[in-house]
Every structure is written in C-alpha cells, then in structure tokens.
Amino acid sequence: MVSYILPFEKPLLELQRQVEAFRAQVAPPGVPGPELAAKIAAKEAELVAARDAIYAALTPWQKVLVARHPLRPSAGELVRLLCDDFFELHGDRHFADDRAILGGFATLSGRRVMLVGTRKGRDTKSNLECNFGCPFPEGYRKALRLMKLAAKFSIPVVTLIDTPGAFPGIEGEERHVAEAIAVNLREMFSLPVPIVSAVIGEGGSGGALGIGVADRIFIFQYAYYSVISPEGCAAILWKDRAMAETASAALRLTAPDLLELGIADAVLPEPPGGAQTDPAAAAATLGKAVLSALDELSALPVPDLLAARYAKYRAMGVFQTLPPPPPLPDAATGT
C-alpha cells in the first residue's frame, strides 16, 4: 500500500486495496493460479489506467501538490542515484554551513562536475536541519563559493532546484539574503563554465533563481517554477491564501507553460504517477539530459558561451507591442 496519497489520488485507493486483496489470496510458494493471476492482472491494469487518466488531466494546483510530494526524490537522493561519486563541501567561509544547500564535486558518467542543489528533509528532524528547503544567505554564499571553485578548475556546474523560496525570516534579512541572491545572479552570468539547472520539484521565487542562472534549464514534468508561491500570490491579490488554486492557474507555473514562455529549455518526463513512484527512472532521465547538454555546451568557446547565456535571459519576458492606432479625425476639418 502506498504510504502517502494526494487528495486527487483518493479514487485509486479502492483499486489498490482490491489488488492487494487478490495478492493476499496467493498461497505459498507465492505463485498465483491462472484464474487468480488473471484477476490480479486485470485489476492492476484498471489501476494503471485510472492513474494515467488522473495524471493526464492534472490542474496547475494539482501539479504543485505533486511537486511538493513528501516522497518525491530530493536533490540528495538524485545525487546518490546519478553520480559515480560525490564529495560534499561545506561552509560559506563567512558565517556558517547552510544544510539547505547541498554542494560538492561529483562524477557523472565519468564527467567531473560541481553539483549544487537545494535540499529538503524527509521527516521533522531532517526538515528542521534543512530549514524545510529554504536557504539562508550563507547557503547562497556557499553555493557561489563552490561555483567559483568550479570555474577555477574549468569544471561545469550542475544545479538541482527544489525550494519553496529563500528563508523569509528576520535572520535572513539580518544577514542580507536579497544581496546574497543578487550577487549570485550577477556572478553566475559571468561564470566561464557551462551551467545546467534542473527544477526537480518546487522552484520558488528568488530562492530558486539564486542557483538557477544557467545555459540550459530543464524542468521535470510535474515540477513548477514561479516568481512566487501560489499561496503567496493568493494572499497578495485576493487577501486569502485559500485562493491558491486560482493563483496557480494565473501564474502559469507548470512545465508546459514554462516551455511555451521560453523559460525552460526542455520538459523531462516523469515515471507514471510522478517521480516518487520510480526515483531511479527519474534520475536516469535527468542524467541523460544533463550529459547531453554538457556535451553541447562544453564545445563552445567561453566568449560564445557567455554571449549565448546573456542572449537567453535577454529574450525572456519579451512581449509584442502593437502599433499605435491612427489619429482620430479632426472635428473641424473632418480629416
């Protein structure tokens, strides 16, 4: 039985119970007879069809819920699945080591990279240690230190984004979180190595963008990337966080929206039912996309790489301005 059910997945519960009831009828040595095997197969097919139908029609808000699924593979889990080795580095050399930012040298299918990601926990203790995936200013300074270290040794940077946003409390303000994020944006634009970013879950506001300036931006199928959380948007526009579902649609934060708007370069398909159902398959998809992008970007001379990065972000948010209407006729002359 699955250990966590999203609200829109509740219709699948009864089908899951029926599958498990049939499996419970299997006597030792664990091989069902032909009739029981046919019942199990038919019920499993019904379950798969129902799940696929639900996930094919997800609303933006429901995709936000999938992106926040507590069992969704985290940056740390994807690192373990993706990398041949990983040597974590700690501290910003100014204040502290922020556990919400994971970073270090890694080997990805034989290619050396600097891997930086936002990290969430799995339970209360680990969530508190990682500040629920909301980095402090020292987290962004640690990330920048590692990226500059990568540039020193001509190593590409890979970032994994999964954060509701930077920590919004007084400690962040006291230690200048806005300045830390702004410096990261500026410095990442001029970093002379390829940068590939992937939104693997939540991509919330400047907290995500602080490690998100990249030559290639990928987003998982059920992840989201937004200037503000749906709840925050609803609180500002409607003065009611309960309007988060409406805000999700207005923000155009889903992967297809971001691809259409030119924010994301590609949408990475997830296993049926979301990345949490098969983290290894999700990691394999991510690894293939990252390696392909690094092969392409590493072939570019540094001036061309930086020029393309600049042009990429200059093109974001472009809109069409219609020509002004013709002047109204003069009342006296009629012309």
175-200 pLDDT, tens digit per residue, is 999 999 999 999 999 999 999 999 99
Range of the domain at 165: 65-314
CB-CB contact of 211 with 140 (8 Å): yes
2 and 109 fall within a common domain: no
143 in any annotated domain: yes
Q: Is the pLDDT of residue 333 over 90?
A: no
91-135 pLDDT, tens digit per residue, is 999 999 999 999 999 999 999 999 999 999 888 888 888 888 899
40 and 148 fall within a common domain: no
Q: Which of 120-129, 131-140, 262-271 has the lowest mean pLDDT?
A: 120-129
Taking the CA atoms of residue 104, residue 108, residue 113 and residue 119 in that order, the dihedral angle to the nearest 10 degrees is -40
27-79 pLDDT, tens digit per residue, is 666 666 677 778 778 888 888 899 999 999 999 999 999 999 999 999 999 99
14 and 155 fall within a common domain: no
206 in any annotated domain: yes
Domain total for the chain? 2
45 and 142 fall within a common domain: no
42 and 75 fall within a common domain: no
Residue-wise DSSP of 191-202: -SS-EEEEEEEE
285-309 pLDDT, tens digit per residue, is 999 999 999 999 999 999 999 999 9
The H or E element containing residue 93 is: none
127 and 41 fall within a common domain: no
**Number of H-type helices and E-type strands within the chain:** 14, 8
| C-alpha span between 198 and 220 (Å, rounded) | 8
- CATH number of the domain where residue 148 is located: 3.90.226.10
209 in any annotated domain: yes
334 in any annotated domain: no
37 and 119 fall within a common domain: no
27 in any annotated domain: no
Global pTM reads 0.87
335 in any annotated domain: no
Secondary structure of the chain: what % helix, strand, coil (to 5)? 50, 15, 35
pLDDT at res. 1: 42
28 in any annotated domain: no
pLDDT at res. 310: 95
